[in-house]
Amino acid sequence: MHPRIEDYALIGDEQTAALIGTDGSVDWLCLPRFDSAACFARLLGDEENGHWRIAPKHAKGPCTRRAYRPDTLVLDTEWETDEGAIRVTDLMPQRDRAPDLVRIVEGLSGRVTVHSALRIRFDYGSIVPWVRKSDGHRVAVAGPDSVWLRSEPEVHTWGKGFGTYSEFTVEEGEKVAFVLTWHPSHEPRPPLVDPYRTLRTSVRDWRKWASRCRYDGPYRDAVVRSLITLKALTYRPTGGIVAAPTTSLPEELGGVRNWDYRYCWLRDSTLTLNALLAAGYQEEAEAWRNWLLRAVAGDPADLQIMYGLAGERRLPEFEVPWLSGFAGSRPVRIGNQAVQQLQLDVYGEVMDTLALARHAGLSTKPQIWAIQAALIDWLREQWQRPDEGLWEVRGGRRHFVHSKVMVWVAADRAVRTLEKNPNLEGDLDGWRELRDDVHREVCEKGYDAERNTFTQSYGSRELDAALLLIPRVGFLPPDDPRVTGTIDAIRAELSHDGFLRRYSTDETTVDGLPGSEGAFLVCSFWLADALHMTGRIQEARELFERVAGLANDVGLLSEEYDPVSGRQLGNFPQAFSHIGLVNTALALFGDEEAG
């Protein structure tokens, strides 16, 4: 049986990440970066596409229990067998240069025979490396990649069928540590790391970081786990945050809605910054803001919806035919064609993010206002164009209401910044006029008076969960009847067994794709926020509890959830979902409970 998405846990070193199943198998790992080719790709194929399992020799199924060490990204997986019990501790220490995957096996009771099966397959499972022995290591080399494996102490290890296997026994208190290290094949072996020392250091450093969280209200463990996950999805050298560390985990099992999320989306920027600032992580917020500034620098007409980890602009999309896909969900896609889309909402998100950063007192830079002024001036000439919208539909451009609302946000933030800082240069009257024009058009063309709701696009009857953000961004006050009407309509029409779809995927769908998808988790958090803002606090808290309760056994959320099968769907773990959890928890409980 193929593992479920929620069967996985995440470890990482803030430059890449690995997914480890309940069976003790590392099934996904891209080296050396999040967006590099995977050397373990069983997640999207089978064992022959690369994996590394460590477990008791005769254990066929899942572990007995697993958990992160409190307030860390260090994972403990335990098995109880007839022979005794063992624990496998997995981590990726923060690196100087080379990425290391450390796996420590410890005997807890009895005498247990442990088996390790390692299949390295570079380039998303397609390339079998040449493996040799060297100075106590097994060294796998193919093209630009090399991986070095060693154990402390050395254990019986052999090669068979293009795999590397080890077998040994541990008694109570005995330990065997494995270290797998990647580096460019043309370079000499990197310095060895002490696995036990890196474990101590990692636990200490993660707990020190988690202690900076200033939220101390209900669901604090879930909030801290979400913040640790966001930290793990941050590319430390640049401050960029990937949407997820995976590609092509399906939004519908067996379907084609499979996308590469190993990039940084501007759509997440304001909500990300708000979560980091509200929780007390100013340094990380500033790093994210600075990544944003570098990424969007240049001609406003060239603004993209997403960028690479360092701000790269070319993210060509192609399919990988040799991978069968998660649970047979094809195609497996690398890169993301949506990078070429026009999404006017990102201009509003960038302007809102930079306004929030200024208000929060993040360090100022002389170019920031010049970038903002250029963006708003471009938007003034282009805002009436149709676009692909927040959800990156592939069914043609429309006048999406959320996109227009975010154009209003861009103009509003520009006006407010000038009003508070009259020393800055800008066309205050012209920007006010833009703000008024957009507001008037949205209320005339994007609102269905008969049903008392805003619609997904001008002239349509379809709804969109992104409309729940209207009161949050200040387009209309929460008590406006059009806002409450929109909330009620979305709950009625987009509800999926108590959770929210982002939009309809029936025959009238605008996304141009066959099939359907699950409930989009961040949308349910947005609904909880909207209910809270409109005074329905108990309903908001009950919804938050239901959505937060969907997290797997180690506190991780994917992009979507299927209430019928009770399974998580989409790329995993999903930054947007965890951002939603943090922001909603702080909104619902922060004022009265925060420390």
Instruction: Give the tens place of pLDDT for each residue, 158-193.
Output: 999 999 999 999 999 999 999 999 999 999 888 899
319 and 398 together in one domain: yes
Q: How far apart are CA 593 and CA 595, in angstroms?
A: 6
Tell me: do 533 and 409 sit in the same domain.
yes
- Average pLDDT on 466-474 reads 98
Residue type, 474: G
Residue 115 sits in a domain whose CATH number is 2.70.98.40
> Could you give the CA distance from residue 80 to residue 74 in angstroms, rounded to a whole number?
20
Residue 345 · residue 402 · CB < 8 Å:
yes
Query: Is 129 part of a structural domain of the chain?
Result: yes
Cα dihedral 443, 447, 450, 451 in deg (nearest 10): -130
Residues 181 and 221 in one domain: no
- Plot region of 58 (φ>0 → left; ψ -120 to 50 → alpha; else → beta): alpha
Q: Is the pLDDT of residue 508 over 60?
A: no
Are residues 234 and 150 located together in one domain of the fold? no
The token duo for 109 is: 């009771």
Report whether pLDDT(595) > 50.
no
Examine residue 314 and state whether it is found in any structural domain, yes or no.
Answer: yes
Q: Supply the pLDDT for residue 547.
A: 98
The whole-angstrom separation of Cα 226 and Cα 576 is: 10
- pLDDT at residue 559 in the model: 98
DSSP string, 534-556: TT-HHHHHHHHHHHHTTS-TTS-
Residue range(s) defining the domain that contains residue 66: 5-209
- pLDDT attached to residue 153: 96
Residue 595, in any domain of the structure: no
The CATH number of the domain holding residue 499 is 1.50.10.10
Name which residue leads in pLDDT, 566 or 590: 566
Asked if the model's pLDDT at residue 331 lies above 90, the reply is yes
Do 220 and 203 share a domain, yes or no?
A: no
Task: Please give the single-letter amino acid code of residue 90.
Answer: D
pLDDT of residue 516: 85
What number is the average pLDDT over the span 548-561? 98
Same domain, residue pair 140 and 219: no
Q: Say if residue 330 is in the same domain as residue 264.
A: yes
Q: In terms of domains, do 360 and 397 share one? A: yes
* Domain final position from 209, 237, 262: 209
The total domain count for the chain is 2
CA distance linking residue 463 with residue 460, whole number of Å: 8
Comparison of pLDDT for 394 and 496, the residue scoring more: 496
Question: Residue 259: is its pLDDT beyond 90?
Answer: yes
Q: Is the pLDDT of residue 594 over 80?
A: no
d(C-alpha 141, C-alpha 183), whole Å: 10
Q: Closest Cα partner for 443 from 417, 470, 464?
A: 470
Decide if pLDDT at 501 tops 50: yes
At residue 441, the pLDDT reads 98
Whether residue 594 is contained in a domain is answered as no
209, 239, 257 — which closes off a domain?
209
Tens-place pLDDT, residues 94-105: 998 899 999 999
Q: Mention every residue, 6+ apart, whose C-beta is less than 8 A from residue 422.
A: none
| pLDDT above 70: residue 593 | no
At 376, the pLDDT band (50, 70, 90 cuts) reads: very high
Model confidence band, residue 507 (pLDDT cutoffs 50, 70, 90): low
Distances (CA, A) of 175 to 25, 200, 233, 393: 19, 15, 30, 51
Kindly give, in sequence order, each residue whose CB lies less than 8 Å from that of residue 568, ignoring residues fewer than 6 positions away.
4, 5, 6, 550, 552, 557, 558, 560, 561, 562
367 and 450 share a domain?
yes
pLDDT tier, 24 (very low <50, low <70, confident <90, very high otherwise): very high
Same domain? For 581 and 526 the reply is: yes
The whole-number pLDDT of residue 51 equals 98
Q: Is residue 26 included in any domain, yes or no? A: yes
Are residue 205 and residue 311 in the same domain, yes or no? no
Q: Is the pLDDT of residue 509 over 90?
A: no
Indicate whether 135 belongs to any domain: yes
Mean pLDDT of the chain: 95
Q: What are phi and psi of 400, to 5 degrees?
A: -75, 130
Amino acid 365: pLDDT: 87
Instruction: Give 564's pLDDT tier (boundaries 50, 70, 90).
Output: very high
| 1 — pLDDT class (breaks 50, 70, 90) | low
Please indicate, yes or no, whether residues 233 and 147 belong to a single structural domain of this protein.
no
What's the predicted TM-score (pTM) here? 0.97
